[in-house]
Amino acid sequence: MKENGLQDTHADIFELYAEDPEKADRVVFGREPHGDRRGFLRGAGLATMGAVIGSAIPFHRNMPSGFIPEAIAANPVKIAGKDGLTVLNDRPVNAETPAHLLDDEVTPTARHFIRNNGIVPTDMDPAKWQLQIDGLVNTPMTLGIEDLKKKFEVVTQRLTIECGGNGRAFFDPPARGNQWTLGAVACSEWTGVRLADVLKAAGVKENVVYTAHVGADTHLSGKEGKLPISRGVPIEKAMNPSNLIAFAMNGGTLHPMNGAPLRLVIPGWPGSCSQKWLKRIWLRDVVHDGPKMTGSAYRVPDYPVSPGEKVPKSAMKIIHAMPVKSLITTPKTGLSITGRKLAVAGHAWAGDNEVARVDVSIDFGASWQRADLKSPANPYAWQRWSAELAFPEKGYYEVWARATDDEGTSQPFAIAWNPKGYLNNSMHRISVRVS
C-alpha cells in the first residue's frame, strides 16, 4: 500500500484503519490530522473511494471520519460456521448479528458476533494447547485442556458477552472504531472450569491487584512478540464464580473466530476482558498495562461530557460493568401489519446486575406498558421479555423498549456521548406500520 492511495482490494481499507486510523483518514478521505473532525471525503480520497465502489457518492460530504460505505462492508466475506452476520471489517475480522437474528434464548454459535483485534492463530489443536498460570501465585501451573477437565469441576452456563463499543454507530458526532449498531452481543451456553477455581489452585498472593490475559492471536503488523490486545480485571472480579475458562460453546467446540480452543468468559464486563485463544493468565500487584488497557482504550470520562467535547486522558476511567440494556428481537423493524395487535419480544441484561423490569411504548414514550420478564437461566444470562401490543388506529408507530435493573437504573432515550463511542445503552426502537 502506498501513502497516496489504495492499491489492491477493499481489504486494504480495513487494514489501514486497523493499523493507523489518522493516516487512513488522510489517505482515504483526504483529511488533514488537525482538520475537520468529521473527516469529509474530498480530492484524491473521494476518487479512490468512488473507484472502489464503482460509482460517484453524491452526499460524500456527510460521511463521517472512519466511515466504511455499506457497499464495501456488505461485500461478501465468507466466514465458515457463521450465518447472517454483517461484516464490519475483514482485517481483523469483526462482524455483528442483526437484531432479528438474535431471537434465540441461547445464541447459536453461527450467530454469535465476532470481535477480533489481531490475526487469528493458525494452530488451534486442543490436544497441544497449554495454559500458563503465573505471576504472583504460590504455585505456577501449566495446564492442558484435558488437565483442566480432570482437575477442576466442569460447569455449563449461559453467559452474556457484549462488546464495549456496541451501538457506536449511533454516536453524533461519530466516534472512531468499528461502527457496531446493535448486534455485538450474544448469550451462548459456555462450558469450562471456573477461573476462580484455577486461581485458587495456583495460590493467589495477598498483594495481587489485577489479572493479565494473553492470547495466541498476533498483531496486524506481524511484528514478533507484539500483542494486539492484553487486558485484565481486578482480582475481586476475577474471583467471581461465573467467570469461566471455556473450551466448549453450545455443546460443541469453540468457533475459531470465537477463541478456539480455549478462552475466557468474563460476563457483565466489556467483551474485551474475555480473552480469546487463551495462553496465559498472570497475576500482578498493579493495574495491568497491556495493549488496550492504557490511554483511552475501553475507558470513558469520569464525568458527563457534551457531544464532541475533548476529554483529557487523566479523566478517562477503565470500564467495569456494562450498563442495563434491552433489545427487540421480534419482529424485525419495518414490519407492516393489517391487524391492530402485535406480539413483541426480546432480551434484556444489566452488567453485574439483574434486570428488574422491561417496559414498552408505542406513543414515543408518553405512556408505558410493562412486559412479561423471565428470570435469568443463571447469573449473567440475558432475560427474555415479551408483550402483546394493541394499536389504536392505522398509521406509523415506533415500538420502544426500556429495561430497568435491580438498582432502579433505566435505559435512557438519548446517548450518553463519550469520545470512544462506548456503552451506548439508549433504548432500542423498531418501526411498525398498521394498515
Confidence bin at 50 (pLDDT 50/70/90): low
| Residue range 327-352: mean pLDDT, rounded | 97
pLDDT of residue 58: 76
Cell digits of residue 353: 446486575
Residue 71 CA to residue 183 CA, distance in Å, equals 19
Residue 309 CA to residue 169 CA, distance in Å, equals 18
pLDDT of residue 27: 45
Residue 194 CA to residue 281 CA, distance in Å, equals 13
Does CATH number 3.90.1170.50 belong to domain 325-434? Answer: no
* Residue 20 reports pLDDT greater than 90: no
| Residue range 56-84: mean pLDDT, rounded | 69
Confidence bin at 41 (pLDDT 50/70/90): very low
* Residue 18 reports pLDDT greater than 60: no
Find cell 503465573 and name the residue: 134
* Residue 3 reports pLDDT greater than 80: no
Confidence bin at 364 (pLDDT 50/70/90): very high
Sheet of strand 141-144, all strands in order from the earlier edge strand to the far edge: 141-144, 130-135, 278-284, 210-215
Beta bridge partners of residue 336, listed in sequence order: 433
Show Cβ contacts of residue 122 under 8 Å, excluding neighbours closer than 6 positions.
none
Q: Average per-residue pLDDT in the chain? A: 88
Neighbours of 354 (CB within 10 A): 18
At 368-389, the pLDDT tens digits run 999 999 999 999 999 999 999 9
Confidence bin at 2 (pLDDT 50/70/90): very low
Beta bridge partners of residue 387, listed in sequence order: 344
Show Cβ contacts of residue 239 under 8 Å, excluding neighbours closer than 6 positions.
195, 196, 199, 204
> Count of residues for the chain?
435
Task: Give the class (CATH, top level) of 109-318.
Answer: alpha beta
pLDDT of residue 34: 36
Say if residues 269 and 275 touch (Cβ distance below 8 Å): no
Neighbours of 121 (CB within 10 A): 17
pLDDT of residue 43: 34
* Residue 176 reports pLDDT greater than 80: yes
At 179-206, the pLDDT tens digits run 999 999 999 999 999 999 999 999 999 9
Query: Beta strand pairing status for 244-249 and 210-215?
Result: unpaired
At 259-310, the pLDDT tens digits run 999 999 999 999 999 999 999 999 999 999 999 999 999 999 999 999 999 9
Residue span(s) of the chain under CATH 2.60.40.650 come to 325-434
Residue span(s) of the chain under CATH 3.90.420.10 come to 109-318
